[in-house]
Structure 1
Amino acid sequence: MKRPNIVLIMTDQHRAGWTRATGFPLDTMPFLDGLMEGGAQFERGYTTSPLCVPARVSLVTGRYPSAHRVRQNSAAQHVMRGDDLVDVLREAGYALHMAGKTHFHRKPEDFDTFSAPYWHVGGPADRATPEQAKFEQWLGDLDHSVSHEPSPFPLECQFPHRIVSDAIGAMDGTPGDRPFFTWLSFPEPHNPYQVPEPYFSLFSEEEMPERLVGPEGAERKGGMYTWLSRLIEEKRPGYDAEWRRYRANYCGMLRLIDDQLRRFFDHLRESGRDADTLVFFVADHGDYVGDYGLQRKGAGMSESLMRIPFAVAGPGVRPMVNGADFVSLADVFPTICEAIDAEIPAGVQGRSLWPMLTGEPYPAEIFASGYGERGFGGVAYGIDERPPLHFPYEGRTFDELNTVTQSGTTVMLRRERWKLLLDERGTGELYDLDADPAELDNRYGDPALAEVRAALTTDLARWMIRVRDDLPEAVYTLKRAPHNWR
């Protein structure tokens, strides 16, 4: 068979529902909206974990964090896996191109070209021009905060422009008879929140939509939300007053990414390879974007962090807007396997979406619920505890993914309008997202919802059994479900 080229677009800390096609009032990503109009768009796309490395390792391995064992950003080297996406594509004869942010277990030598790593304040040290190096120093000086002025450096210094330029060069170097896999991995719209003109002025603070809830929401939710909110206020007094500027910069960053995607796909079309290219668009996780008076991520598993953009377009994919099925970042790898007619490796827990994407029948119940995980183990800290962190308590610098906010374990179940969370202490949370999108009214103990709670708990138990690891393989022969639909 003639295998398609594959372009995987991944953004970082990109909240779902922030483009006009997905219901946002501002036109942040018109090119991407148009590109995906001819493909499959999933309104219920979810990450496996609301932080970078566990989520990215899930994409590459098709496994949930409890199986691949990478449950914090500092643990990529401890991954437990079988063959992953890189192995399968290499075996299938693909040229492998990585451009952008990595934050997973694979190394430069695993790819044909490796224009990485691009981090949030720096790119590959050996590739920066003097002006780009000054830009990266300016980014570092922002200390992951919000810029109140346009970036004083030209567009060519911005990471999305540099990443797309690198990817175009790699693609042009691939022989026309060899399929390629190009991973465009943008560090944006992750903080620091900054953009040059014209993007800085493209979206004004005044036109930003209202947030679901302000800082009072963090106090009401308690636990890690309260701890993180108080820590940031202590370090950066009055920071929440920036939320409209933060949102405006965030929208500008999305448009900047969109324009660079347009540049990449214009080049792909001019090279005559666009018709044979399968495109996946996902994010690793979301962003509070000011909800709960918080920026970035860190506490809990709110929809603002767990829901991600998720769309697929290209040869064989039927256009649809799917608002019913729950799909996961872990589903990308097995879907690519079936799209290129490769066997789904042992140990993969995600489900292939390929029959769904191509209009074949599929069992709706397999996708009637979604599952996620958070935390690196142990038990949760209390809101008054101050254990040692990897940054000082004094000064402005902080990292929202720290010992306190990530300690413990929480699992999540989504089904219909409901969301159920359980943690290692036995604490339960149950939210009706239709009536309570900010997740402030915990109805876990509501007698009127006893039957709902029981059904969701049973479903959650099924998921926790489903993600028990099939690895390592030994003597007995495992019976495999078609498409990994267990």
Structure 2
Amino acid sequence: MDKRRDRPNILLIMTDQQAERMRKSRGYPLDTMPFLDALAGQGVQFTNAYTANPTCMPARVSLFTGRYSSCHQVRCNTSDLAAFYSKDLLDVLKEAGYRTALCGKNHSHRRSEAFDFCRQNTHWGSSDPKRENQGRQSFDRFLRALENGVSMEPSPGGVEAQLPYRNVSDALEFIDSADPRPFFLWLSFAEPHNPYQVPTPYFNLFPPDSLPVPTPPCAGKGMRFSWLRAQWETLYGKERCDAVIRRCRSNYLGMLRLIDDQIRRLMDEMEKRGLQNDTIVIFLSDHGDFAGEYGLVRKGADLPEALVRIPMIWKGPGIEAKGDYEGCFANIVDVLPTLCEALRVSVPAGVQGRSLWSVLTGRRGAGKPESIAYSEAGYGGDYWSDEDELPPVCRGVHKEGAFDCLNSITQSGQVRMVRKGQWKLQYDMKAQGHLYDLGTDPFEEHDLWRDPTCEKKKCELLEVLAQKCLQLTDTLPVPPDRFAVKHFVPNDGKGGSAE
């Protein structure tokens, strides 16, 4: 480590809407991200990592605050001003003497001016078009014209017009700025989130007709699954829908390889600068994407594994090269407390995540491995249905037939899930539930909620869920002067445990 400082650089690489399963190291038959798979072998890859909420902004606020959306109050993609917390990751790192940067997509509660260096891009191109040359401006117009949909042809402009290439170039500019302080760099790719587009040579790298067969639409998955499928059939045409979704899936895989090549480019450049032994590298995604499973794309329907499971890889000084790690559940809320322990600084009040540092380093740490996975969704109230009178925009229908999968019908209500071992339970505010044995049914095709032979397991997980929800009751604001908060530590779900 650089002798000018005693704390490592931190490189947080985030993708948007990356399905955890779709890499060869995770059992997918196609080699979509070979460099990332190799990188995972040099550190720790949590094979059971989850998002706190499978929606962009709620998940990103959970990343920065270490809190679940029911407590930080950002429960949809437009409620950033509601963010409630004591200190977040940016506050902690600034107090610890870090210079900070965002290169790529933000979509958190933090404004661009909160970072020392910010080059922001969205799904529609640069937030500062005047900074881009004519070729990139033309490409950004192409992105906007797609209306968050799919391109049936290779994207124009080549690789250098693509946002991942531009994000990495901006990141290198920040890294090379003269400053002796350690850096925190949030490299935030807006891909493989829709619009599903990719240039040559990635466009037909994974041809649509040669892809693995996805899970078909499933009966009994709930109203939102069938409702979303009906929307795609209406938008693309019932006869054409599956062909369009195959192209979405093909482009999605091509985007993964494009991102992988740009991560390789960045890591090669960091190695040239001698930063590889000085930097904690974290790779994760905010949430997943159906990417063709169940006849769907994007997100919006409840808490299936396709949406709540995320990739999570840690590599860097002090972190053992364990490769795949199945010994505990990890969550996006765990990033902040893990970095706090790594940097030997206090965890902010109200943080609900648990440090993973002892797992990463093989040394005794502040917390026990988590034995329960938990995630939540919904902005509250009762469910809206297709029979209710709602303005078109609340149903996700916008100009020129464009459709947003996040709308009043898909996001209303409250849904929670827990996973313990290979068993997973989803439950909502109307006492409607689903139960799956992921060991034998990883794609959740067979709902065991009403199976009498699984009644004992269902009751056990309902008890685990009730306990988890009570444990996650917000402790903020901390009662001043009079009380001290004693935080829960993970347990086996059978009883309370506190420290």
Scaled by the length of structure 1, the TM-score of the pair is 0.95
2:319 maps to amino acid: V
**Residue 462 of structure 2, aligned match among 449, 457, 466:** 457
What does residue range 234-249 of structure 1 map to in structure 2 within 5 Å? Answer: 234-237=234-237, 238-249=240-251
Match of 1:451, SS state, is: helix
1:439, distance to aligned residue in structure 2 (A): 2.1
Does the alignment pair 1:428 with 2:433?
Answer: yes
Q: Residues 164 and 314 from structure 1, CA distance in 2 versus in 1: closer, same or farther, beyond 3 angstroms? A: same
Q: Which residue of 2 aligns with 1:200?
A: 203
Q: Residues 167 and 424 from structure 1, CA distance in 2 versus in 1: closer, same or farther, beyond 3 angstroms? A: same
How far apart, in 2, do the equivalents of 1:368 and 1:18 lie? Answer: 25
1:338, distance to aligned residue in structure 2 (A): 0.8
Contact 2:397 2:404 in 1 (8 A): no
Q: Residues 470 and 179 from structure 1, CA distance in 2 versus in 1: closer, same or farther, beyond 3 angstroms? A: same
Q: Which residue of 1 aligns with 2:423?
A: 418
1:372 maps to amino acid: S
Contact 1:4 1:276 in 2 (8 A): yes
How far apart, in 2, do the equivalents of 1:272 and 1:484 lie? Answer: 38
Contact 1:51 1:73 in 2 (8 A): yes
1:247, distance to aligned residue in structure 2 (A): 1.8
1:316, distance to aligned residue in structure 2 (A): 0.7
How far apart, in 2, do the equivalents of 1:375 and 1:341 lie? Answer: 35
Match of 1:245, SS state, is: helix
1:438, distance to aligned residue in structure 2 (A): 2.9
Contact 1:389 1:402 in 2 (8 A): no
Contact 1:100 1:185 in 2 (8 A): yes
Q: Residues 480 and 267 from structure 1, CA distance in 2 versus in 1: closer, same or farther, beyond 3 angstroms? A: farther
Q: Which residue of 2 aligns with 1:476?
A: 482
**Residue 85 of structure 1, aligned match among 76, 89, 95:** 89
Q: Which residue of 2 aligns with 1:323?
A: 326
What does residue range 377-396 of structure 1 map to in structure 2 within 5 Å? Answer: 377-390=380-393, 392=397, 395-396=400-401
Which of 349-358 and 379-388 deviates more? 379-388
Contact 1:389 1:403 in 2 (8 A): no
Contact 1:108 1:114 in 2 (8 A): yes
What does residue range 75-154 of structure 1 map to in structure 2 within 5 Å? Answer: 75-116=79-120, 118-125=121-128, 126-154=130-158
How far apart, in 1, do the equivalents of 2:275 and 2:178 lie? Answer: 11
What does residue range 358-377 of structure 1 map to in structure 2 within 5 Å? Answer: 358-361=361-364, 366-377=369-380
Contact 1:212 1:437 in 2 (8 A): no
Q: Which residue of 2 aligns with 1:291?
A: 293
Which of 393-402 and 256-265 deviates more? 393-402
How far apart, in 2, do the equivalents of 1:62 and 1:83 lie? Answer: 10
Q: Which residue of 1 aligns with 2:342?
A: 339
1:284 maps to amino acid: D
Contact 1:226 1:383 in 2 (8 A): no
Contact 1:45 1:310 in 2 (8 A): yes
Q: Residues 45 and 180 from structure 1, CA distance in 2 versus in 1: closer, same or farther, beyond 3 angstroms? A: same
Does the alignment pair 1:304 with 2:280?
Answer: no
1:243, distance to aligned residue in structure 2 (A): 2.7
Q: Residues 389 and 93 from structure 1, CA distance in 2 versus in 1: closer, same or farther, beyond 3 angstroms? A: farther
2:431 maps to amino acid: G
1:359 maps to amino acid: G
Match of 2:35, SS state, is: helix
Match of 2:266, SS state, is: helix
Q: Which residue of 2 aligns with 1:11?
A: 15
Contact 2:349 2:476 in 1 (8 A): yes
Query: Deviation string for 1:339-362 (max 9, x for gaps)?
Result: 111111101000000011110257
Contact 1:57 1:104 in 2 (8 A): yes
Contact 1:334 1:348 in 2 (8 A): yes
Contact 1:417 1:433 in 2 (8 A): yes
Q: Which residue of 2 aligns with 1:398?
A: 403
Which of 9-18 and 354-363 deviates more? 354-363
**Residue 272 of structure 1, aligned match among 265, 271, 274:** 274
Q: Which residue of 1 aligns with 2:167?
A: 163
Q: CA RMSD in A?
A: 1.9
Q: Residues 143 and 239 from structure 1, CA distance in 2 versus in 1: closer, same or farther, beyond 3 angstroms? A: farther
Match of 1:429, SS state, is: strand
Contact 1:42 1:323 in 2 (8 A): yes
Q: Residues 31 and 105 from structure 1, CA distance in 2 versus in 1: closer, same or farther, beyond 3 angstroms? A: same
How far apart, in 1, do the equivalents of 2:96 and 2:163 lie? Answer: 30
What does residue range 30-109 of structure 1 map to in structure 2 within 5 Å? Answer: 30-109=34-113
Query: Deviation string for 1:277-332 (max 9, x for gaps)?
Result: 00111100000011111111011111000100011011111122112311100001
5+ residue gaps, structure 1, are none
How far apart, in 2, do the equivalents of 1:393 and 1:200 lie? Answer: 28
Match of 2:449, SS state, is: coil
How far apart, in 2, do the equivalents of 1:477 and 1:10 lie? Answer: 38
Query: Deviation string for 1:357-398 (max 9, x for gaps)?
Result: 110257997511110000000011234335224354784211
1:184, distance to aligned residue in structure 2 (A): 0.5
Contact 1:325 1:364 in 2 (8 A): no
Q: Which residue of 2 aligns with 1:355?
A: 358
Q: Residues 86 and 365 from structure 1, CA distance in 2 versus in 1: closer, same or farther, beyond 3 angstroms? A: closer
Scaled by the length of structure 2, the TM-score of the pair is 0.92
How far apart, in 2, do the equivalents of 1:482 and 1:226 lie? Answer: 39
1:245, distance to aligned residue in structure 2 (A): 2.0
Q: Which residue of 1 aligns with 2:448?
A: 443
Q: Residues 479 and 174 from structure 1, CA distance in 2 versus in 1: closer, same or farther, beyond 3 angstroms? A: farther
1:63, distance to aligned residue in structure 2 (A): 0.1
Contact 1:349 1:484 in 2 (8 A): no
Contact 1:347 1:469 in 2 (8 A): yes
For these two proteins, the number of residue pairs brought into alignment is: 481
Contact 2:103 2:188 in 1 (8 A): yes
How far apart, in 1, do the equivalents of 2:23 and 2:477 lie? Answer: 42
**Residue 282 of structure 1, aligned match among 281, 284, 294:** 284
How far apart, in 2, do the equivalents of 1:184 and 1:363 lie? Answer: 28
1:34, distance to aligned residue in structure 2 (A): 1.4
How far apart, in 1, do the equivalents of 2:256 and 2:69 lie? Answer: 28
Query: Deviation string for 1:24-67 (max 9, x for gaps)?
Result: 21111111111221100111000001110000000000000000
How far apart, in 2, do the equivalents of 1:467 and 1:174 lie? Answer: 43
Contact 1:208 1:248 in 2 (8 A): yes
Q: Residues 201 and 129 from structure 1, CA distance in 2 versus in 1: closer, same or farther, beyond 3 angstroms? A: same
Contact 2:327 2:369 in 1 (8 A): no
How far apart, in 1, do the equivalents of 2:369 and 2:360 lie? Answer: 15
